[in-house]
C-alpha cells in the first residue's frame, strides 16, 4: 500500500480522516484516541510552562500534505497553517512529482554558526593569525562545556575569523565564527553557551575586547538542495498546453531572479510550505525565515531561492537551495503533545532528514504557486477557498456555512460585510411564515438567490430494483427532498464550473487527452444545443452529496441543462431535457438504466422500467414514508459496480437472470405494499433485496454495518441505494427515525431523516 497516497482524503469528514490515518498505520492506537478526543492539543497548564504571562492557547488547523515521495521514501507531512489552499496545492504538486520519481534532496551535515565580535583590537591582522593558530585550544574549551554533545557525535567542529571595517571608535572589528554540530537539537542555547564560554580566551588571544557573542540564523552551513523533474505532458490540463505551462513557469521564475520586488513574494510562497512544517514540528520558523531571506540576498541583491529551467528532453526541472537548520529533540517536543504526535506521523529519523523534507515541501509549494499564476491566475483558483475564509471570519454558524459560501460566490462580493448580510437573510428565511408546505417546497426547488429562478434537478433513492433495472426489470424510485440547482452566466471564453460545496472550481478542458466525465458530458450537451464555443460560467448549488448513490450526477446534468435553457432561451421541454441528461449518464456510468435522469427530470415517485417494455408509472402514496438515509462517506463508483455486474452476468447469464427476476418480483410486491401502506412487508422486501445485492457483490462493509445498525435500532427494512460499492443506505423507520439516525451517526457515519412521497 502506498503510504502517502490516500485518494479522496479531502472529501472525507474529520473523523473519517482520523480513522483512515489510523488504518494506514500513520498513527498509533494511542495517538488515534488522542486525535478523536482532542486531548492532543496544548493545555493552558503546559503552555504556562513554555512562555511567560500565559492567559490562553490559540489553535491553528493541522492538515496533512499527501503524496510526497522524497529520496524514494514516502511521507505524509503534517502542516500547521491557516491560509487556504496551501495543503491542497502541496498535495497536488507532490502527486504530480511522484509520477516522475518524486523529489531528490541533498543536504550538508548541518552546523550552526556562533559569532564572537571583538572590538578595540590593536592589530586585527595579527589577532586573526593568532586566533587561527590557537584554534584547537578554543575548540577544546568550547567542547568541554558540553561533554554530552561530544558523546553524541556533535560539538564545535571548526573556527573561522573575519575582519570587518567599522565606523566605531575602536577601528576594524574581528569576528570569530564558531562552527558547531548540534546533532538533532536546534542548538541555539548550546551555541550561545559555547560563545560565552570561550569569550575570555578569545579576548586574550586577540588582544581586544569581546562585545557580542551570539548565534547567527544565517545557517549557510546547513544547506538543503531539492530537485524535481516534471515531464512536459504532465503539465497539460485545464485548457493549457504543457509546453506553454512549462515556459510560463520558467519566465515567471526569471522575473523573480532579477527583480527583488517579485522575489519577495516568490520566496514567501516557498516559505508558506516550509513554515507550516516548522510549526507542525515545533521548530523556530522565525529563524528559518530570516536565514532563508538573508541567503536570498547573499549576492548583494535579493533574488529567487529557486531555479526553473528546461532540460535536454524538454522536461521542466526545478531546484531549490536554502539554508535550513532544525531540531527533532528537546524543547517543544517534550512540551507540546501535538508536536510529538506530528513528529511520529512524519516518521523522520534525524534533524537532517526533517530539513530535507522541508526542502521538498518548499519546492512543491513554489511550483504550485507559479503554475497557478501562469495558468488560471491566483484569484480564479482561490475563489472558493477565499469565500470559505470570509464566511469563517464573519462568524458563520456551521449549519449555514455551505449556503453562505455559495451565495458569497454567486454575489461576486466576497467580503465580510456581504457574508454578514447573507447570514441575516438566510436566518430570516428560516423563520416560520404563513407560506404553505407545497409553496415552500416549490420555492426551495426553484430559487436560491434573491428570487432568481434556477435550473433544478432532483436526487433519488431506489426502494427496490437496483442493477436489475439495467436489464429491463422494474424498480421503485422516489425523489428525495433535496436537489441540485444551477445557474449560467456569460463569460469571456471557455466554460468555467464552480461548485463551492464540492470544492470544484475549474475551467473545463474539452481537448484534454483524458477529459473528465463532466467535461465529456458537457461537450455532448453543448454540441446538441449548438452552444459550442460560447463562453459561460456554470455555478452549481448542490444539496445532494456527490457520489453517494443519491442520483447526484443525473441531478447535476438536469440542473445545468435547465440553467442553460433559461439563460439562452432554448425552449427545451422535459422530454428533451431527460434525453440530454440520459446522454450525460451514459458518459458517467457506461450502461445506465435511465432511472436516475428520469427521477432527476420529473421528480415523481414512480415505478420505472426501461428496455423493450418501458414503463413509467407515477405512484400515489397516501402517507409519506419515514426514511433515514445513511451515508458512508465512501464514494459510490456506479460505473465500476455496473461493469462488475455486467461481467458476472456475461459469465453466468442464467444465474443472474434469475436474480434479476427475483428483484423484479420484489419490486412488484413492493408496489402493492406501498399502495396499502404495509410498512412491515415493504421493509421485509427491502431486507431480502439487500441480501440479493450483497450476493452480487455490490455492497461493502460500510454499507453492511449501517444496514445492521439501522435494523438493530428499529428500522423495519434497510438496504443500499444506488450502485453500491460505497455510497448510501436507506432505512424504513415508521416508529422512530430519529433513533435510527442517531445510531448511524454514533457509528461514525452521516445520516439524514427525510419524508418520501405523500399527498
Q: Domains (ranges, CATH) in the chain?
A: 9-108+222-375 (3.90.770.10), 112-216 (3.30.70.420), 435-617 (3.30.230.10), 620-756 (3.30.70.890)
Residue 632 burial class via C-beta count within 10 angstroms: exposed 0-12, middle 13-18, buried 19 and up: buried
Euclidean distance between CA atoms 393 and 385, whole angstroms = 12
Q: pTM score, two decimals? A: 0.66
Contact present, 666 and 751 (Cβ < 8 Å): no
Helices and strands per DSSP (H, E), number in the chain: 28, 23
Q: One of 30, 48, 83, 440 is an active-site residue; which one? A: 83
What is the DSSP pairing of strand 495-499 with strand 536-542?
Answer: parallel
Q: Tell me, yes or no, if 284 is annotated catalytic.
A: yes
Name 240's bridge partners. Answer: 237
Q: Tell me, yes or no, if 83 is annotated catalytic.
A: yes
Chain-centre distance of CA 727, in angstroms?
20
Q: One of 40, 128, 325, 382 is an active-site residue; which one? A: 382
Residue 531 burial class via C-beta count within 10 angstroms: exposed 0-12, middle 13-18, buried 19 and up: middle
Residue 56 burial class via C-beta count within 10 angstroms: exposed 0-12, middle 13-18, buried 19 and up: exposed
Contact present, 66 and 76 (Cβ < 8 Å): yes
Side-chain half-sphere of 224: how many Cα atoms within 13 Å?
27
Cell 502517502 sits at which residue? 4
Q: One of 284, 356, 496, 702 is an active-site residue; which one? A: 284
Joined grid coordinates for residue 3: 503510504
Q: One of 33, 268, 310, 586 is an active-site residue; which one? A: 268
Give the DSSP H or E segment for 498. strand 495-499
CA distances from 757 to 481, 536, 600, 671 (A): 9, 36, 15, 13
- What stretches in the chain show pLDDT beneath 70? 1, 168, 170, 237-239, 331-334, 376-383, 385, 429-452, 481-482, 513-514, 545-547, 758-759
The closest alpha carbon to 684, from 707, 662, 717, belongs to 717
The closest alpha carbon to 740, from 701, 703, 711, 699, belongs to 711
Euclidean distance between CA atoms 106 and 224, whole angstroms = 6
> Residue 482: its pLDDT value, please?
60
CA distances from 454 to 264, 306, 418, 559, 657 (A): 45, 47, 21, 8, 42
Strand, helix or coil at 225?
strand
Q: Considering just the CA atoms, what is the radius of gyration of the chain in Å?
A: 32
What is the DSSP pairing of strand 316-323 with strand 155-164?
Answer: unpaired
Contact present, 187 and 327 (Cβ < 8 Å): yes
Q: Tell me, yes or no, if 490 is annotated catalytic.
A: no
Euclidean distance between CA atoms 446 and 441, whole angstroms = 9
Q: Tell me, yes or no, if 382 is annotated catalytic.
A: yes
Amino acid at each position: 500500500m502506498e503510504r502517502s497516497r490516500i485518494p479522496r482524503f479531502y472529501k472525507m469528514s474529520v473523523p473519517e480522516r482520523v480513522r483512515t490515518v489510523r488504518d494506514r498505520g500513520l498513527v498509533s492506537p494511542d495517538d488515534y484516541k488522542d486525535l478523536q478526543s482532542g486531548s492532543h492539543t496544548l493545555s493552558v497548564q503546559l503552555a504556562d510552562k513554555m512562555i511567560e504571562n500565559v492567559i490562553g492557547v490559540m489553535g491553528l488547523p493541522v492538515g496533512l500534505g499527501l503524496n510526497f515521495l522524497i529520496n524514494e521514501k514516502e511521507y505524509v507531512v503534517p502542516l500547521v497553517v491557516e491560509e487556504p489552499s496551501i495543503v491542497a496545492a502541496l498535495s497536488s504538486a507532490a502527486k504530480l512529482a511522484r509520477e516522475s520519481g518524486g523529489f531528490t534532496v541533498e543536504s550538508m551535515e548541518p552546523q550552526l554558526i556562533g559569532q564572537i565580535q571583538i572590538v578595540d583590537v590593536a592589530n586585527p591582522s595579527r589577532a586573526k593569525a593568532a586566533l587561527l593558530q590557537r584554534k584547537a585550544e578554543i575548540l577544546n574549551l568550547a567542547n568541554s562545556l558540553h561533554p554530552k554533545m561530544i558523546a553524541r557525535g556533535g560539538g564545535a567542529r571548526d573556527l573561522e575569523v573575519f575582519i570587518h571595517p567599522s565606523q566605531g571608535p575602536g577601528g576594524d572589528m574581528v569576528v570569530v565564527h564558531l562552527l558547531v554540530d548540534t546533532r538533532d537539537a536546534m542548538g541555539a542555547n548550546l551555541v550561545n553557551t559555547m560563545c560565552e564560554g570561550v569569550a575570555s580566551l578569545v579576548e586574550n588571544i586577540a588582544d581586544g575586547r569581546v562585545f557580542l557573542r551570539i548565534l547567527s540564523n544565517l545557517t549557510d552551513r546547513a544547506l538543503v538542495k531539492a530537485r524535481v523533474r516534471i515531464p512536459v505532458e504532465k503539465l497539460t490540463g485545464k485548457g493549457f498546453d504543457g509546453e506553454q505551462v512549462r515556459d510560463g513557469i520558467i519566465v515567471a521564475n526569471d522575473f523573480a531572479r532579477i527583480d527583488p520586488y517579485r522575489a519577495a513574494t516568490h520566496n514567501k510562497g516557498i516559505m508558506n510550505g516550509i513554515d507550516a512544517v516548522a510549526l507542525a514540528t515545533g521548530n523556530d520558523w522565525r529563524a528559518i525565515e530570516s536565514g532563508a531571506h538573508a541567503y536570498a540576498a547573499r549576492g548583494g541583491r535579493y533574488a529567487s531561492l529557486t531555479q526553473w529551467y528546461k532540460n535536454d528532453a524538454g522536461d521542466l526541472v526545478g531546484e531549490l537551495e536554502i539554508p535550513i537548520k532544525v531540531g527533532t529533540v528537546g524543547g517543544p517536543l517534550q512540551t507540546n503533545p501535538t508536536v510529538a504526535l506530528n513528529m511520529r506521523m512524519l516518521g523522520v529519523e534525524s534533524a537532517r532528514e526533517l530539513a530535507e523534507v522541508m526542502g521538498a515541501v518548499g519546492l512543491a509549494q513554489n511550483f504550485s504557486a507559479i503554475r497557478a499564476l501562469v495558468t488560471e491566475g491566483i484569484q480564479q483558483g482561490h475563489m472558493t477557498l477565499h469565500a470559505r475564509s470570509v464566511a469563517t471570519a464573519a462568524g458563520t454558524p456551521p449549519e449555514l456555512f455551505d449556503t453562505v459560501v455559495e451565495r458569497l460566490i454567486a454575489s461576486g462580493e466576497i467580503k465580510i460585510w456581504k457574508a454578514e448580510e447573507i447570514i441575516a437573510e438566510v436566518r430570516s428565511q428560516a423563520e416560520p411564515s404563513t407560506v404553505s408546505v407545497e409553496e415552500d417546497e416549490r420555492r426551495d426547488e426553484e430559487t436560491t438567490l434573491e428570487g432568481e429562478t434556477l435550473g433544478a434537478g432532483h436526487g433519488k433513492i431506489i426502494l427496490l430494483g437496483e442493477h436489475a433495472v439495467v436489464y429491463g426489470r422494474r424498480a421503485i424510485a422516489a425523489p428525495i427532498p433535496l436537489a441540485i440547482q444551477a445557474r449560467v452566466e456569460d463569460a469571456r471564453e471557455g466554460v468555467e464550473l464552480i461548485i463551492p460545496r464540492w470544492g470544484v472550481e475549474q475551467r473545463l478542458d474539452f481537448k484534454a487527452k483524458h477529459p473528465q466525465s463532466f467535461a465529456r458530458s458537457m461537450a455532448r450537451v453543448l454540441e446538441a444545443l449548438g452552444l459550442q464555443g460560447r463562453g459561460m460560467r456554470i455555478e452549481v448549488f448542490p444539496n445532494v452529496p456527490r457520489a453517494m448513490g443519491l442520483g447526484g450526477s443525473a441531478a447535476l446534468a438536469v440542473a445545468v441543462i435547465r440553467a442553460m435553457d433559461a439563460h439562452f432561451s432554448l425552449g427545451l421541454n422535459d422530454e428533451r431535457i431527460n434525453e440530454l441528461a440520459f446522454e450525460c449518464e451514459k458518459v458517467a456510468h457506461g450502461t445506465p438504466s435511465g432511472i436516475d435522469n428520469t427521477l432527476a427530470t420529473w421528480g415523481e415517485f414512480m415505478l420505472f422500467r426501461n428496455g423493450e417494455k418501458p414503463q413509467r408509472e407515477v405512484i400515489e402514496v397516501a402517507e409519506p414514508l419515514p426514511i433515514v438515509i445513511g451515508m458512508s462517506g465512501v464514494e459510490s463508483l456506479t460505473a465500476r459496480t455496473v461493469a462488475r455486474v455486467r461481467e458476472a452476468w456475461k459469465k453466468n447469464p442464467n444465474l443472474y437472470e434469475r436474480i434479476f427476476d427475483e428483484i423484479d418480483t420484489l419490486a412488484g410486491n413492493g408496489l402493492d405494499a406501498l399502495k396499502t401502506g404495509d410498512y412491515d412487508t415493504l421493509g421485509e422486501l427491502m431486507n431480502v433485496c439487500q441480501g440479493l445485492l450483497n450476493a452480487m457483490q455490490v455492497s461493502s462493509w460500510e454499507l453492511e454495518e449501517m444496514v445492521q445498525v439501522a435494523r438493530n435500532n428499529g428500522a423495519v427494512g434497510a438496504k443500499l441505494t444506488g450502485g453500491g460499492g460505497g455510497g448510501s443506505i436507506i432505512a424504513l423507520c415508521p416508529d422512530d427515525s430519529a433513533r435510527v439516525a442517531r445510531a448511524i451517526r454514533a457509528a461514525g457515519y452521516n445520516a439524514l431523516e427525510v419524508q418520501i412521497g405523500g399527498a
